[in-house]
Amino acid sequence: MTKITEDYILALSAILESAYMVNKISVSNYNAEEESEMLINSIYITDTNSASKIYNDNQKLLNGFKLLKNILRNKNDISLINIQKYALSMILIQKNINKIIDLKKLIRKKIDNYQENSIMATNLDNLIAYSETIYIDHIGIIRPRIVISGKKEYLEKNSSLIRALLLSGVRASFLWSEHGGSKWQLMYKRNEILNKCDSLFI
């Protein structure tokens, strides 16, 4: 039986935070690079499965956490439709990657290569660009693909960050799964999840 832990909540909030940021920069001229840094960095932290260590500033997951509570309390509105769609798509992609062992190993190798290349790892722009490459080469080929809705000018301007954030959401989905996460729990364990939420993000 899955225990709803702090790591469980943080990983799930990170999925929704990634989806929230993708949606925001797809429809507005919002500069989200600084806010997204922890999410992007999380892709390359592979020596622990502790969400509290990977996401070491939970205030940067606050949007995702608020969304999670609203979803669990059925306070959904039309503005959340795309965010929920993106989050569920990230979870589905993670499950599909798990079914393709060679692809999972290849993605892990790409991540390890970045960690070992200290020359490449100089700034956030490089990290975003490298993450985009991983997404295009290895995530974007998986069906069904994630289709992002938004304004053309912002989709084009923020295409690299959008793909990097989608990858961060997939990474969070792996972490959530490692802590027993399943989308069915959002229906059948919503009270237990909400009770745990109330002890976090105070």
Amino acid residing at 120: M
State yes or no: pLDDT of 198 exceeds 90: no
In a domain, 1, yes or no: no
* Mean per-residue pLDDT of the chain: 91
pLDDT value at residue 199: 82
74: left (phi over 0), alpha (psi -120 to 50) or beta: left
The per-residue pLDDT for 170 is 98
Residue 76 lies in a domain: yes
Is 80 exceeded by the pLDDT of residue 79?
Answer: no
Tell the residue number behind the tokens 């660009």, with chain if given.
Answer: 129
Are the CB atoms for 2 and 51 separated by under 8 Å?
A: no
Domains held by the chain: number:
1
The answer to whether residue 193 scores a pLDDT higher than 90 is yes
pLDDT of residue 14: 98
- Span 125-167, pLDDT tens digits: 999 999 999 999 999 989 888 999 999 999 999 999 999 999 9
The answer to whether 201 and 14 are in contact (CB under 8 A) is no
Instruction: Calculate mean pLDDT across residues 105-130.
Output: 82
The pLDDT value recorded for residue 75 is 81
Kindly indicate the confidence band of residue 121, based on its pLDDT and cuts at 50, 70 and 90. Answer: low
Residue carrying structure tokens 């059948």: 188
Region 61-71 average pLDDT: 94
Report residue 30 CA to chain centroid gap.
Answer: 19
CATH number for position 19: 1.10.3890.10
Residue 60 structural domain: 6-197
User: Looking at the predicted structure, is the pLDDT value of residue 11 above 70?
Assistant: yes
In a domain, 202, yes or no: no
pLDDT bucket at 74, cuts 50 / 70 / 90? confident
User: Distances from the Cα of 32 to the Cαs of 20, 27, 122, in angstroms?
Assistant: 11, 12, 19
Would you say residue 67 lies in a domain?
yes
Are the C-beta atoms of 202 and 58 separated by less than 8 Å?
no
Lowest mean pLDDT among 14-18, 97-101, 121-125, 173-177: 121-125
